[in-house]
Amino acid sequence: MTSDLVLIIEDDPEIVRILQAYFERDDFRTISATDPVVGLGHHQRLKPDLVVLDVKMPKMDGYEVLAAIRRLSDTPVIMLTALAEDLDKLQALRMGADDYVVKPFNPLEVVARAKAILRRAKGTAKSNMLRVGPVRLDTEAYTVTVETGGAEQMLAVTPTEFRLLATMMRSPNRVHDRGELVDACLPEGEAMNRTVDSHMSNLRRKLAGAGLPDFVISVRGVGYRLDVQVR
Return per-residue pLDDT of the chain as tens, 231 residues: 348 999 999 999 999 999 999 999 999 999 999 999 999 999 999 989 999 999 989 888 999 999 999 887 888 999 988 776 666 677 777 778 888 898 889 999 999 999 988 887 776 555 578 888 899 999 888 899 998 877 889 999 988 899 899 989 988 878 888 888 887 777 554 556 678 888 999 999 999 999 999 999 999 888 999 987 755
Whole-model pTM? 0.57
What domains can be seen in the chain, in order of their start residue? 5-123 (3.40.50.2300), 127-226 (1.10.10.10)
pLDDT score at 40: 94
Q: Which of 146, 138, 137, 133 is nearest to 208 (CA)?
A: 146
117 neighbors 98 (Cβ within 8 angstroms): yes
pLDDT score at 148: 81
pLDDT score at 228: 75
Burial of 21 (0-12, 13-18, 19+ CB in 10 A): exposed
pLDDT score at 89: 72
pLDDT score at 86: 66
pLDDT score at 155: 93
